[in-house]
Each structure stands twice: as structure tokens, then as C-alpha cells.
Chain A
Amino acid sequence: MSPAAGPEVVLEGVGKRFGTITALRDVSLRAAPGEAVAVTGRSGSGKSTLLALIGGLDQPDAGRILIDGRAVWTERHDARTRRELVGFVFQRHLLLETLSARANVEVPLIGAGMNHRARRRRALELLADVGLAERAEHVPAALSGGERQRVAVARALANEPRLLLADEPTGALDTATSETVLDLIFQLRDQRGMTLVIVSYDEAVSVRADRTISLLDGALATAPA
């Protein structure tokens, strides 16, 4: 693990229900600054919900989540927290189909209010970092699955997040491409010292992570370290 620039992530008794379904029950864990935590578990075990709550995409029904001591949601700074602190990578790349790779990477920077010229420069740098400098002006439809996911990684890094949340980032990719994308994510995490929480079925992820936790029916199946 590199010298940590990432934040500490603390979950205290977090619970979440969707109607009658309990997605998470009393989950408590701590990710140290710069730590890479892999989250595993069967489908429907609550992995993605856990990630979404950490990232402030939804509000927990019970407990609280602290990022560097700052509560997510309760301070109602969720959009700002995501903008300033968090980068997301999803299984689906979720690129805007009408925009070029470069313009997609610029999207978070628009949200941050960065000017056009600085946005463009930063997007091109990030695309170079993920090996897509030559593909910057291509729209997603003209990119391969792996390339699209690399653009999504570049987009996640646009605002220089200290916490990277990846939800099955290789779930839709073939084995070789998965390796490339995982290499990229862990390499960037090492370079930048980000805290990483990554959800995956992939054994290769657990091998690369500093620690693995497992969820079963919305609760921790392995005790947090």
C-alpha cells in the first residue's frame, strides 16, 4: 500500500431496506486511509447497496457512514462529497452515447465548474493515463467494451477523488480485458494512494486487495479487521 492520500471510511451499524426487502443489516466496518477493500458475496447480498451508501447515492435507514469523519447524507453535502471526494466505476460503463470519450471524461469537471480549456486538458491527460489518448474523440459506440470501461475509469478519476468505489467493474468484460482493467484500477490506486472499495465476484480482485470482506443476506459474513 502506498503512502495514503485516501480517506478513512467508517460504517457504523448501517442498515437499508427497500420496501419489505432488507438489503443491509447492521453493517459496521472500517477502511483505513489508502486501503483497498474487496467486497464479495452472492448476487443480492447487498454489495452494490453498500457501495451506493458509502458513495452517498442513497440514504441509509439505520446507522451512519463517515468519510474522514464527515457524515455522508446527514450533512446533506452528498453531491459535493461525491464531487470532491469520490469516484465511481460501475459494471455498466454508463457513458453518454452522444459525447466523445473526451467529453465524457469532462462531464464531472463541468459539475465542478472547471473552465473549458482546463477541462479539455485534464480529460486528455486522463485518457492518456488509461492508454486511450488516440481514441479521445471517438464516441462510445466506436470503442470496444474494455476501452469504454477505461474511459469510465478516466471519468471516475476526473475530479481527483481520494476514494474510488468500483462496482463489479469487470463484470461485463472478457477475462483478458478484465485483467487489463483491474491492472489499471490497482495501478492508479497505487499511484494516487486512493482508498479503494471494490465489489467483485472475481477472485483476482481479492488477491490484489489488501483485505476482503464478504456479505451474506445483507450482513457481514466475515468479521471486519
Chain B
Amino acid sequence: MLNIVITNLWRRPARTVFTAAGIAVGVAMVVALLAFTRGLQKTAAGFVHLGGSGLGVFQANVSEPTTSLLPASLVGRLQKLPLLTRATPLLLVVEAIKAEPAAIVFGAEPSGFFTKSLVMVEGAQAPGGARAALVGDRLAAQLHLRAGGLVTIKGRSYPIAGIYHSGIYFEDAGAVLPLSVAQQLTGHPGEETDVVVDLAAGVRASSAGTAIERAVPGTRVITDPEQALRVGANATLISQAILVIVVIALIVGGLSVANTMAMSVMERRSELGLLSTVGWSPARIAVLIFGEGVGVSMVGAAGGLLLGVVGGRLLVGALGVSAYVSPAITAWGLGRGLLIGVAIGMLGGIYPAWRVTRMTPLRALAGT
């Protein structure tokens, strides 16, 4: 049976290749988007533990964590909670450095644990009140910046007091300004994006999160990367887009396979009639047609997986986020792509297989 499936697919190689290519594109899109989402998730993990914190407190119901705005008074309220040992506010400024739009500028209190956790590799932390910037070593290397030089943030130049390393990707690929300077720069005096906190020993992040959200209504606590993704409307949109693309891929791919297999069935009526004549049951002939549909889809899915791996990298490049999102290919992501490919073949094979079971052998043999 397998031999016949393979030879039948190979009988019209161009048709098989074009059908498989269509399926490959659908599967590749799914794989690439899954890889992109997984990359976003890893990126989000970096946001959760900024400054080595246990969790982050954001404004609830925002389209994106970076658009959160909290009042400065919140830090004091949080510090009174017994579950927490320390808290410090952060103001995240995105697309602030023209030469590297992916870099994030962190507005942080010079005396807060976020700033204090930075290890200086060149220069030193600026004295309190200074309007100087600290630059992460990744960004410094990228833009050839040095302590004592200048960095332009939102069109204004700031002296670089030092170059730091924190071990957290976003921090090292960004810069730090004193919180008050960042607030003034963005026109948000007295506001911050989030408050990063450390938990008391033995306190679980999830229970602390629940307690904080209950104590401070209107906040959303992010304790893990999955949660960070769910909070952001953009990430939610991407997840929904993947679902839509999967459905479209199934419909378009399924129709494509159905069309190909229906044509094949029409062309091969006398051959299928012969199989019936020599005793093949309608079910077995249907399995043959169904198998050919699944076979072409498997070929397409295999190509789609390869294309998806490449497409994931192209996607982050096209979206201009390659600096902070790396597509992450996982076995489950590839598995889902393969499953979708097989599902396309199964969906597309149903109608032609059903048609075969409706033919009488005599009419099929006559090709009518």
C-alpha cells in the first residue's frame, strides 16, 4: 500500500511539489510565529526579574507592560507589606536611543537596589543628583561608547558616568538614567512604569502577587514570563494571530489537498475501478486516497518545518526586533507544525476518499 501511495504521488511530481509547497508555507508560518512567540516569552522573562528582583508590579489592563504608569506613592505602600523586603521604582523608556531603537533606557533611583546591583566595568556610578547616564556593556560595545563620552537619549545628550554589566540581557543592552531625569524627559513626573520588589525569605512569588494585587487594586503582578506575555495586548494579539493563521492554513491547505486529490481521483477512475474489480473494498481504496493526501501533506509539513526555522529569523529581522527577540525553536513547536501538516492532509483527503466509495466499479472502469 505504501509503495502504491509513493508511486502515485511521484506520478505527477509537479502537482505533488506545488501542493506540498502550499502546505509548507502554511506550516512554516505557524512554526515561525511559534518560534517568535517563544522568543518573546524568553524576552519577557528578562523583564520579570529586572535588577535581580523577585517580581514586578505593573498597572493592570495595559496594552503592553512598557505602557504601564504607576504613581510614585506606590513604592511606599508596597514597602509596608510584610511579604516584601525592598522595592524600587523603574520608568522604562523605549525607542529612546535613535542609533539602537531596541535599547531600553531605565529610569531608576540611584540609591535603589536596581542601580546598586549594577557591576561597573568602566567608570563609576554617578553621585546623587547628577544628570549622568550609565550604559550597559552590550550597548556600549555596539555603539562604541565609553565612560566620559556622551550618549544621546530622546535627542538630548547625557554624559556617561560608567559602563556596567548586570547579566540581564535588557539591562546590558540598554542604559540607566536617574529616575527624576527620566520622568522629566518623558513628561511623566511622579510616575513610574513598574515597581520591582524582593520577597521576604520563604514567601512564594505567586502568593505574594495575589496579596499585592489585593492590597493595591489596579495593579497587576508579573511573576513569570508566561504571565508577562499574557499581560501584553501585543503578545495576546500574536497568540490570536497564530490561532487565526493555523485555522487559515488548515482551510487553505485542506482545500488545496482536496482539490489535488479530487483531480487525481477523477483522472484515475479506471485505475480505482480496477482496484475495486480485483477485490479492494471501498474502505481500502478510500484509505489509499486518504494516504496520498496525508503523504503530500507530510512532504509539505517537512519542508514547512525547515522553512519555519529560517522564517523565524527572517520574521524578527522584518519586525526590527532582532536586537531583543531571538526566535526559539522548540520540539513542541516543530511537533505542532507537523501535526498541522498532517491535519491538513487528513481534512483534504476526506472528500476525495468519500467520492471513491460512491463509485460503482463498472462506471469507474469505464472512466465515466
Contacts and interface: CB of A to CB of B under 8 A. Distances in A.
Interface string A134-156: 00000000000000000000011
B10 A98 contact: yes
Interface residues of A, number: 29
A77 to B, nearest CB: 10
A111 B362 contact: no
Given A96-B271, A111-B275, A79 B281 contact: yes
Interface size class of B (residues with CB under 8 A): 20 to 34
B4 interface: yes
Lowest 8 A-B CB distances belong to which pairs?
Answer: A83-B279, A111-B280, A108-B278, A58-B362, A57-B362, A57-B361, A98-B7, A79-B281
A79 B274 contact: no
B85 interface: no
Contacts of A108: 278-280
Interface string B45-62: 000000000000000000
Interface in A63-95: 78-80, 82-84, 86, 88, 90, 94
Interface of A: 52, 55-59, 78-80, 82-84, 86, 88, 90, 94, 96, 98-99, 103, 107-108, 110-112, 155-156, 158-159
A160 to B, nearest CB: 12
Contact of A110 (B4, B8, B277, B282): B4
Contacts of B274: 94, 96, 107
Given A94-B274, A96-B271, A79 B8 contact: no
The majority secondary structure among interface residues of chain B is: helix
A55 B1 CA distance: 24
A52 B362 contact: yes
A110 B362 contact: no
B11 interface: yes
B71 to A, nearest CB: 75
B3 interface: yes
Given A98-B10, A99-B7, A58 B280 contact: no
Nearest to B284: A111
Contacts of B4: 96, 99, 103, 107, 110
17 contacts: A57-B361, A78-B361, A79-B279, A82-B276, A83-B279, A90-B365, A94-B271, A94-B365, A96-B4, A99-B3, A99-B7, A107-B278, A111-B278, A111-B280, A155-B278, A159-B278, A159-B279
